[in-house]
Amino acid sequence: MKFHHFPALLLITLISCTSVKEDRNLLLIHGSTMGTVYSVKIVQTDLTRAGQDSLTISQGIDSLLITINQHMSTYIDSSEISQFNHYDKTNWFKISGNLMEVIIASQKISELSDGAFDITVGPLVNLWGFGPEHQQSRIPSDKDIDSRKATVGYKNLFIQENPPAIRKGISAMYCDLSAIAKGYGVDRVVHYLEKRMLKNFMVDIGGEIKTRGLNQHGKTWKIGVSTPDNSDSIQKVIPLSNLAVATSGDYRNYFEIEGKRYSHTIDPRTGRPIEHTLASVTVIHESCMLADGYATAIDVLGPDLGLKFAEQLELPVFLIVRENDRFSEKMTDGFDKILKQNQNGN
Ligand code: ADP
Ligand code: MG
């Protein structure tokens, strides 16, 4: 049995370990958060112009991410979402504005994708060994899948906006925000840097990315989309100006039994890992939170329905599809436009 769990290697690293590197052109901040790594690149001249110092900025980002994790992480037993998950009543449960924002966006993506994206899929994610329950990778019994599936369904999660509160329709319900929280984290870090008058930077949490302004060479930031085979090669380079990009795929977090791949993306309708030829989905959006959520939704929908969904919502989306021994590419008109717009640019 093969087991690939790259981002999850750092899953329980709660100890913050930020590193800061500086050269003449760029300030580079690295750290770990949300079971993965983050990096922030800030153009040095921008930092000087805004009168900011690297240590204050790196500490500010680090503590912001710790706070977000404390709201969103199912790996932290005392986090806000874990407290809701432990709460076994169906009464209203007061939540923070931060959590509310992510839950409202999640429910919107669930409705649009007809339940392909569903944060209440958590019990199934855990059953398949991709959540904090840390089970061995194995194929669960049909009986276990069915009993967990009975607790899943975004329509059983109710929202009250004022004051912010949520309510379970089924007391055993459990929410997993892993498919959207990294994108939210990126948006919040970008907002933090903008409030400090910074204009030229890039924020990356586990491959969910947002850029502002230009890079250290005065050119458009370029983002590489990996070839979905863990070979470290780049399939496509996206010029990204003042937008966010998120990628979901079946090539980083999965296990394999008898040559069959079991992805960490679960189809809530079958209760099982997705089974189709879509290897990687990249979504561009102004909001990194939405890009992250849509990428997971399209990953569940698969190459054909996923592309249709993206075209309907006019999302710039790039798909890499497995075809025997090779990969083929598909993209929406919006994605093609972004590539072409920048072809003659810098
Ligand atoms: P990555 O972490 O590789 O960026 P995603 O953003 O697609 O990937 O998030 C995948 C995670 O989302 C899974 O590990 C699981 O915790 C959760 N998840 C799995 N299936 C779904 C789904 N159908 N809807 C919402 N969340 C999901
Ligand atoms: Mg996602």
* DSSP codes joined into one string, 226-239: EPTTTS--EEEEEE
* pLDDT tens for each residue of 40-62: 999 999 999 999 999 999 999 99
pLDDT score, position 17: 66
C-alpha of residue 258 to centroid of ligand 2, in Å:
27
Residue 73 to residue 80: CA distance in whole angstroms: 8
Tokens read off for 308 = 């249709």
Segment 4-31 shows an average pLDDT of: 66
Tokens read off for 173 = 């319900």
Q: Which range has the worst mean pLDDT, 12-21, 128-137, 293-302? A: 12-21
Segment 195-209 shows an average pLDDT of: 97
* pLDDT tens for each residue of 77-102: 999 999 999 999 999 999 999 999 99
Ligand 1 binding residues, C-beta < 6 A: 7, 117-119, 121, 125, 130-131, 176, 178-179, 206, 248, 252-253, 264-266, 268, 292, 296, 299-300
Superfamily of domain 87-168: ApbE-like superfamily (1.10.3980.10)
pLDDT score, position 258: 85
Q: Report whether pLDDT(157) > 50.
A: yes
pLDDT score, position 345: 52
Residue 311 to residue 71: CA distance in whole angstroms: 33
Confidence of residue 256 (pLDDT cuts 50, 70, 90): confident
Residue 298 to residue 316: CA distance in whole angstroms: 12
Q: Report whether pLDDT(303) > 70.
A: yes
Contacts of 141 (CB under 8 A, 6+ apart): none
C-alpha of residue 179 to centroid of ligand 1, in Å:
4
pLDDT score, position 117: 98
Instruction: Quote the pTM value.
Output: 0.94
Q: What percent of the chain has pLDDT over 70?
A: 93
pLDDT score, position 4: 46
Q: Report whether pLDDT(119) > 50.
A: yes
Q: Where are the alpha helices (DSSP H) in 73-176?
A: 80-86, 97-112, 122-127, 142-149
Give the mutation target among 11, 265, 309 for probing the ligand 1 site: most ligand atoms within 8 A of CB.
Answer: 265
